[in-house]
């Protein structure tokens, strides 16, 4: 409405635009300009608002998946079972296990899981830290420090404006994918920990 009012003032109040021919030319020019502007706006990519929330630990402030579960067996049995599960679920590397303390019932692993994004094919996996604390008949697992590895890596704890503002669609997709992956890993690990291991 304001734009129309300004055009009206130019056409009918400007002394240089007194002839009907001049007015017609100006109207055509304004219409063409508005048409190109509208086309450009319509053709621009639509960015979605990042609304999906990953679980965040209230103390550390990190994206965290954790839980406490019961399982048959004493601490040593669960410790051995956990090592088997880690070997089955993740690609074994020499530096993968950062800590393995049987006496304390504690295992810390730098794990990795495949995670691709079609629009950014150079990224193919996410790394994270898995911490296991084992006791007789129960254990606690914690997964955090998530990082999607690519040419422009994503730190899920501190994504930065590159992901939140420039690539919000991709950021949203990666959050959903990470959540699905971690929930699947939780389910698989719990199932494995309930199975007795011959050792």
Does pLDDT of 181 surpass 50?
Answer: yes
CA 153, CA 123: separation in Å to the nearest integer? 8
Rg (CA), the chain: 29
Alpha helical stretches, state H, 44-94: 75-89
- Cα-based distances in Å from 178 to 54, 162, 175: 9, 18, 5
Domain ranges in the chain?
A: 2-43, 65-193
CA 39, CA 34: separation in Å to the nearest integer? 9
Average pLDDT, the chain: 80
CA 151, CA 85: separation in Å to the nearest integer? 31
- What mean pLDDT do residues 25-44 have? 44
pLDDT at residue number 121 = 66
CA 51, CA 170: separation in Å to the nearest integer? 13
Q: What CATH architecture does domain 65-193 belong to?
A: 2-Layer Sandwich (3.30)
- DSSP 3-state of 83: helix
**CA-based diameter of the chain, in Å?**
99
φ, ψ at 55 (rounded to 5°): -65, 130
Strands 154-155 and 97-101: unpaired
Alpha helical stretches, state H, the chain: 2-13, 20-43, 75-89, 160-161, 168-193
Name which residue leads in pLDDT, 28 or 138: 138
pLDDT at residue number 19 = 54
- DSSP 3-state of 156: coil
- DSSP 3-state of 19: coil
Residues 77-115 have pLDDT tens digits of 999 999 999 988 987 666 789 999 999 999 999 999 988
Match 């606690």 to its residue by tokens: 140
Does pLDDT of 120 surpass 80?
Answer: no
Match 């420090």 to its residue by tokens: 145
Q: Retrieve residue 129's tokens.
A: 């830290």
Given a contact cutoff of 8 angstroms between Cβ atoms, the answer to whether 61 and 182 are in contact is no
């Amino acid at each position: 409405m304001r734009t129309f009012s300004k055009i009206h003032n130019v056409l009918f109040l400007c002394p240089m635009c007194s002839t009907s021919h001049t007015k017609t030319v100006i109207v055509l020019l304004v219409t063409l300009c508005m048409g190109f502007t509208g086309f450009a706006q319509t053709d621009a990519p639509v960015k979605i608002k990042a609304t999906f929330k990953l679980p965040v630990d209230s103390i550390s402030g990190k994206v965290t998946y954790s839980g406490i579960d019961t399982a048959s067996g004493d601490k040593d049995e669960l410790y051995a079972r956990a090592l088997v599960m880690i070997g089955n679920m993740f690609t074994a590397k020499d530096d993968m296990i950062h800590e393995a303390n049987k006496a304390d019932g504690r295992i810390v692993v730098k794990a990795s899981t495949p995670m691709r994004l079609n629009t950014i094919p150079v990224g193919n996996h996410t790394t994270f830290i898995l911490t296991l604390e084992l006791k007789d008949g129960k254990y606690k697992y914690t997964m955090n420090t998530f990082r999607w590895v690519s040419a422009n890596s994503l730190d899920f704890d501190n994504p930065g404006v590159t992901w939140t503002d420039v690539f919000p669609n991709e950021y949203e997709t990666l959050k959903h994918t990470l959540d699905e992956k971690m929930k699947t890993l939780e389910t698989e690990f719990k199932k494995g920990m309930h199975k007795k291991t011959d050792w």
